[in-house]
Structure 1
Amino acid sequence: MSKKLYIETLGCAMNVRDSEHIIAELNEKDDYTLTENSGEADLILINTCSVRERPVQKLFSELGMFNKVKKEGAKIGVCGCTASHLGQDIIKRAPYVNFVLGARNVSKIGEVLHKDKSVEVDIDYDESDFAFKDFRSSPYKAYINISIGCDKQCTYCIVPKTRGEEISIPADLIQKEAQKAVQGGAKELFLLGQNVNNYGRRFSGEHEKVNFTELLRRISKIEGLRRIRFTSPHPFHMDDEFLEEFANNPKICKSMHMPLQSGSSKVLKEMKRGYTKEWFLNRVEKLKSMVPEVSLSTDIIVAFPGESDEDFYDTLDVMRQVEFEQIFSFKYSPRPLTEAAEFTNTIDEEIGSERLSTLQELQNELLDKNVFKLLGKVYEVYFEELRADGYVSGRSDNNHLVKVKGSEELLGKFADVKITEVGRVSLVGEIVK
């Protein structure tokens, strides 16, 4: 009789993929099957994020809740970036936790599971050649890691300290995984890495040197594959070759996540981002000249140490010029093990909150101005989700979330949809053919 696994995933798409790897390994080697009821689980896992302070705080409240509801004999494990960061301290603070598994050690899940109080958090561990068993959360699209770790030294970011140095996964392994996913029914692939367009900078061992643009070309040749998405590219590595491939390859979806972080060149220098406001706007201008309907999203941090009113206005200026379809915005919070955590020119909490509100209000104004331009447009939508309200939803090539009245018969299919209602978050339409 199979055992039950309950897993909660916090954070980014890379964590989602790590959770899929964990599920696959436990299913294959220990006969675990998924459950949505933590109270009946034999194993409860939390796959954590440490990019922001709040998910770390949430971890211990969640652990306490799970400890109260777990059945007798059930184990609790903590995985992911916070596991890498806190390690043994997690067990000290929550002694009922059975093991801790870092973000760079996913392949060791079968070992730590059977070793009580085990802590595996080596950020130099190399999993780039490890052949994980296969599990997909969705039959319609597939997440694929193309690299692990990060070589950037952004002064606000803890990721290099939790995921280690950047290593690219060999191109032939990526292509085989992509081919298998498409043969299994996925029509859309989502390539993942901390800086995907820096792919190929370093491999472990002797492997063919392939850059990201060439990898995109090779994957796009897979028969039956309709769409390729990826996240996150780094603005510093957006050379002309990459942008031209993005624009001209019909299988690459015309949406791009471009993490701005700040619109001030001064703040960007303090963040060690490697580019300026002018470079970022130049890349956007070139991209929009080649793909006028490209959809752009971004990350923005306000109230970074030393950010003046003028610096903040520079960020608002970039927002007005670019008109992002989506922003992920945060008030700066210092993270341990980062350079910026030692900066003393911090911004008052109230000023930071005001700036965040101002930025989000501007974003809503820009969305309200532009969203009505979408009325009557026709988009090809790939349907992935059956909703409880009688609708089926999916995404357009340029990443608009679109829903139509329909049933499960639409799932996994493409259809042209005419937009009849618009909103900041999603669009409503009707199938035209």
Structure 2
Amino acid sequence: MMEDIEDLLVGNGGVAPGFRLPVASVGLNPRKKTKRHLEKQPLVPDPLQSLIIPGTQTIYIKTFGCSHNQSDSEYMAGQLSAYGYALCEDPEEADLWLINTCTVKSPSQSAMDTTISKGRAAKKPLVVAGCVPQGSRNLKELEGVSIVGVQQIDRVVEVVEETLKGHEVRLLNRKTLPALDLPKVRKNKIVEILPINVGCLGACTYCKTKHARGHLGSYTVDSLIRRVRTVITEGVREIWLSSEDTGAYGRDIGVNLPVLLNAIVMELPSNGSTMLRIGMTNPPYILEHLKEIAGVLRLPCVYSFLHVPVQSGSDAVLSAMNREYTVKEFGTVVDTLTELVPGMQIATDIICGFPGETDEDFAQTVGLIKKYKFAQVHISQFYPRPGTPAARMKKVPSNVVKKRSRDLTAVFESFSPYDGMEGQLERIWITEVATDGVHLVGHTKGYIQVLIAAPENLLGTSAIVRITSIGRWSVFGEVIEFFNQENKNVSSNEIKSSYERCSSCADANGSCAKQPEDHRHKHFIRWLLRKRKNTVGAENAAALGAKGTEEWTQVHGSMAERAFVDKTLVAGMTVSFLIVVALLLQFGFQNVIFV
């Protein structure tokens, strides 16, 4: 029987979500000096403990799992950095490893085991965080390491400090939600992953995450709005709402997702510089709010994209999973959003080989995927997670599970979801560098990935691009015009007016139907410099192809040098022109006097 850890928001004296209780002293469990522990993780010798200065060490953080886990890691990194600890990407250079784990699938937990083994072999002090220790605290792999629970990330500094001293620290008891205003070091400086709630209301028979994250606990609307205002002032250009089930937000505190979404969009800049992405939501909790959510998804500042897992196309399998909806109800979600939101894109998930899945059940799943031809489908094989009801069900033979996964993947990859986009003009929001180190990644209103050749200083900007070619997973674009990214505080009426202006010029696909304005007649020299810079940048990026980031940096530096030379030449031409004008005026004046 698993230990009872479902104490979220219980016994806290009525503390509201989004607020912290006073931090109590950390409980320490000095490691027993047994031979086994000395071999696994040697204690720091007593004479050296006095030499350890907290906040002077280097920390390596490894994150597994979902965006919520990524946000937790960013919060922990922010607190450690604020306390003076250095963060590094090279595990060999670190004095301590912080491993943030995921328990959704067996491969994720196996990767955690491998990382812990490597840390022990390298004699590194280890702190393990995330869903694995929270949901399975007695795992053999966790012996001799410090643990920080998913609700205790605001105390990571204490845990790290004591671990560096040779103590084993375990903080797993839940008290309240970690505050949203903790220091944070974002992996992507312009993307804020904003957790709006933890846990969920469901009881899926295969899910281990519920054991770790617990029952639903929502942050208050006010606390989330304060966070949105803060990150916008910090230059964030994309906000991801993240949770185990976004659609269930607020049901524990008397509000709902549409209330939160409408409050957030009123805080976003009216020029469209900052976009909102709504996170994963299960079908049951958005069915009653479909029209309201569609209204939000139509707004210019919200991506027309939603991740709605279906998991199976068979009602019998959905019932065995305890998913609390039918295939028809999932279809209602997809059909309604597709009808009401121009250019709507929906991603979904499928589990192949769930216990009891027959050939007919699988055929129904294939039929569902063929019907909707989703551009994004996350296909996984069933992994029994210890402690879940599904782990005790009769399994489908592994060879059958693997074959079904391959077959469904082949069906999915046969689609060409971006056919017809070539030549279209799309507005994109540029947020990251592509894996090739050369292109930048932008997303359309429907969150379709667009790769462009452009310098990194354009990250965080928005642009009009012409789609030049299409691929299976993304499309390529040519920049036509960049938008001005200056932000300013505006009233609610101005924001509403902006939505109406932008919506009125959108085409049937939700894209900007207006041709980019040509500013050459307004300021020829400024246009010429910008045009030359963009052209040179595109040519250099194309010439580099898939070369390394070091060469791209060199090219980027040479572009900056060219820009300086260009401006110097223009300045010289301007001065020369003024001198000539002055001489002509002087010469003309002298001629008049002489006559």
TM-score after normalising by structure 1 = 0.91
The residue aligned with 1:216 is 261
Which whole-Å deviations, capped at 9, do the CAs of 1:61-118 have from their partners, x for residues lacking one?
1122233345xxx4211111112123243xx436553x01222322231232215222
The residue aligned with 1:306 is 356
Closer, same or farther: CA 241–137 of 1 in aligned 2, 3 Å = same
The residue aligned with 2:418 is 371
Following superposition, the deviation at residue 170 of structure 1 comes to 1.1
- Mapping 1:19-418, distance limit 5 Å: 19-28=73-82, 30-69=83-122, 74-89=124-139, 92-93=140-141, 97=145, 99-113=146-160, 114=162, 116-122=167-173, 124-127=174-177, 129=179, 131-203=181-253, 209-224=254-269, 226-238=274-286, 239=288, 240-344=290-394, 346-366=395-415, 368=416, 370-387=417-434, 388-418=436-466
The residue type equivalent to 2:58 in the other structure is K
Between 59-68 and 155-164, report the one with greater CA deviation.
Answer: 59-68
| C-alpha contact (below 8 Å) 1:128/1:168 kept by paired residues | no
| C-alpha contact (below 8 Å) 1:236/1:275 kept by paired residues | yes
The residue type equivalent to 1:380 in the other structure is R
Q: For 2:469, which of 414, 421, 424 is the aligned residue?
A: 421
Following superposition, the deviation at residue 314 of structure 1 comes to 1.2
Between 335-344 and 60-69, report the one with greater CA deviation.
Answer: 60-69
Q: How far, CA to CA, are the matches of 2:424 and 2:298 in structure 1?
A: 22
User: Secondary structure of the equivalent of 1:51?
Assistant: coil
Following superposition, the deviation at residue 48 of structure 1 comes to 0.7
Gaps of 5+ in 1: 204-208
The residue type equivalent to 1:120 in the other structure is L
The residue type equivalent to 1:47 in the other structure is N
The residue type equivalent to 1:117 in the other structure is E
Q: How far, CA to CA, are the matches of 1:130 and 1:286 in structure 2?
A: 34
User: Secondary structure of the equivalent of 1:372?
Assistant: coil
TM-score after normalising by structure 2 = 0.67
The residue type equivalent to 2:449 in the other structure is L
Aligned pair count reads 417
Q: How far, CA to CA, are the matches of 1:42 and 1:242 in structure 2?
A: 50
**Alignment RMSD (CA, Å):** 1.8
Which whole-Å deviations, capped at 9, do the CAs of 1:146-175 have from their partners, x for residues lacking one?
001122100110111011111001111111
Q: How far, CA to CA, are the matches of 1:269 and 1:261 in structure 2?
A: 11
The residue aligned with 1:8 is 62
Following superposition, the deviation at residue 377 of structure 1 comes to 2.2
Closer, same or farther: CA 389–348 of 1 in aligned 2, 3 Å = same
The residue type equivalent to 1:46 in the other structure is I
Q: How far, CA to CA, are the matches of 1:247 and 1:102 in structure 2?
A: 34
| C-alpha contact (below 8 Å) 2:201/2:248 kept by paired residues | no
Q: How far, CA to CA, are the matches of 2:438 and 2:322 in structure 1?
A: 48
Closer, same or farther: CA 106–185 of 1 in aligned 2, 3 Å = same
Q: How far, CA to CA, are the matches of 1:96 and 1:198 in structure 2?
A: 37
The residue type equivalent to 1:106 in the other structure is I
* Structure of larger gyration radius: 2
Following superposition, the deviation at residue 296 of structure 1 comes to 1.1
Q: How far, CA to CA, are the matches of 1:248 and 1:55 in structure 2?
A: 36
The residue type equivalent to 1:125 in the other structure is K
Following superposition, the deviation at residue 128 of structure 1 comes to 5.1
| C-alpha contact (below 8 Å) 1:129/1:169 kept by paired residues | no
Gaps of 5+ in 2: 1-54, 482-595
Following superposition, the deviation at residue 32 of structure 1 comes to 1.2
Q: How far, CA to CA, are the matches of 1:45 and 1:421 in structure 2?
A: 42
Between 386-395 and 299-308, report the one with greater CA deviation.
Answer: 386-395
User: Secondary structure of the equivalent of 1:373?
Assistant: coil
Following superposition, the deviation at residue 372 of structure 1 comes to 2.4
| C-alpha contact (below 8 Å) 2:188/2:432 kept by paired residues | no
Deviating runs (4+, > 6 A) in structure 1?
Answer: none
Q: How far, CA to CA, are the matches of 2:386 and 2:392 in structure 1?
A: 9
The residue type equivalent to 1:222 in the other structure is E
Closer, same or farther: CA 95–391 of 1 in aligned 2, 3 Å = same
User: Secondary structure of the equivalent of 1:231?
Assistant: coil
Following superposition, the deviation at residue 403 of structure 1 comes to 1.1
The residue aligned with 1:206 is none
Structure whose residues are more often strand by fraction:
1
Q: How far, CA to CA, are the matches of 2:57 and 2:424 in structure 1?
A: 49
Q: How far, CA to CA, are the matches of 1:343 and 1:180 in structure 2?
A: 48
Q: How far, CA to CA, are the matches of 1:307 and 1:408 in structure 2?
A: 48
| C-alpha contact (below 8 Å) 2:62/2:98 kept by paired residues | yes
